[in-house]
């Protein structure tokens, strides 16, 4: 059921991008891959967990970016859904952006789903025709804070996409992307 919901969200984002392609509201779809997490997360994490992440966003009306992010960390998969806004007043054709936004995320491992929220801020710059790079800082707060279930079974300490089960967390992504 969770996999089906994930597929439905991705299909919705892609159908909006395809349907709105000729409309003045739609201004492109970006696919981004995080190139820092596969290096940084194992270096700073005591369990040497591998972390991979991919994001898809759609630029609407120069400033609004609905976003879907999915990834895998050694114990399981995760996804985030949200939106970013570019608060800078600029020329509509400028490819550069300062982004602030919100995400809701869920990480899956075993038969347990954890849920969290994120406040994000970052920037992206155009480095060549269609290619972008940028960074994103994340302030994370966990909605599911229990450490054990009703039967006394302990939940895993590490949550894919969130990190170590704690009240708050931080994260940074550095990505390369391409705009279609």
Hey, what are 128's tokens? 């060549």
Question: Taking the C-alpha atoms of 90, 137, 37 and 55 in order, what is their torsion angle to the nearest 10 degrees?
Answer: -50
* Band (3; pLDDT cuts 50, 70, 90): low
Strands 158-159 and 97-109, sheet pairing: unpaired
Task: Report pLDDT for 19.
Answer: 54
Hey, what are 34's tokens? 């995080």
What's the whole-model pTM score?
0.80
User: Does the pLDDT at position 125 exceed 60?
Assistant: yes
* Band (34; pLDDT cuts 50, 70, 90): very high
pLDDT tens-digit profile of 67-113? 999 999 888 899 999 999 988 876 656 778 899 999 999 988 766 77
State the SS3 of the chain: CHHHHHHHHHHHHHHHHHHCCCCCCEEEEEEEEECCHHHHHHHHCCCCCCEEEEEEEEEECCCEEEEEEEEEECCEEEEEEEEEECCCCCCCCCCCEEEEEEEEEEEEECCEEEEEEEEEEEEEEEEECCEEEEEEEEEEEECCCCCECCCCCECCCEECCCEECCCEEEEEEEEEEEEC
User: Does the pLDDT at position 30 exceed 60?
Assistant: yes
Task: Report pLDDT for 90.
Answer: 65
106-116 core/surface letters (b: 16 or more CB in 10 A; e: else)? bbbbeeeebeb
User: Does the pLDDT at position 41 exceed 80?
Assistant: no
Task: Report pLDDT for 121.
Answer: 97
Q: Which residues neighbour 79 within 8 Å (Cβ) at sequence distance 6 or greater?
A: 6, 9, 68, 69, 70, 71, 105, 106, 161
User: Does the pLDDT at position 143 exceed 70?
Assistant: yes
Task: Report pLDDT for 11.
Answer: 56
Task: Report pLDDT for 54.
Answer: 96
Hey, what are 84's tokens? 């970013």
| CATH class held by domain 2-179 | mainly beta
Task: Report pLDDT for 92.
Answer: 59
């Amino acid at each position: 059921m969770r996999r089906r919901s994930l597929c439905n969200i991705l299909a919705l984002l892609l159908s909006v991008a395809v349907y709105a392609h000729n409309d003045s509201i739609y201004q492109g779809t970006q696919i981004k891959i995080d190139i820092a997490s596969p290096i940084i997360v194992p270096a700073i994490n005591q369990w040497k967990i591998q972390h991979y992440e991919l994001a898809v966003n759609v630029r609407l009306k120069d400033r609004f970016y609905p976003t879907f992010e999915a990834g895998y960390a050694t114990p399981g998969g995760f996804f985030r859904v949200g939106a970013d806004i570019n608060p800078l007043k600029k020329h509509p054709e400028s490819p550069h952006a300062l982004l602030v936004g919100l995400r809701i995320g869920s990480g899956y491992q075993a038969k347990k789903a954890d849920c969290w929220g994120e406040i994000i801020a970052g920037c992206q710059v155009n480095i060549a025709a269609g290619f972008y790079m940028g960074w994103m800082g994340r302030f994370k707060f966990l909605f599911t804070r229990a450490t054990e279930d009703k039967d006394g079974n302990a939940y895993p300490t590490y949550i894919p996409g969130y990190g170590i089960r704690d009240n708050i967390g931080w994260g940074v992504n550095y990505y390369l992307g391409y705009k279609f």
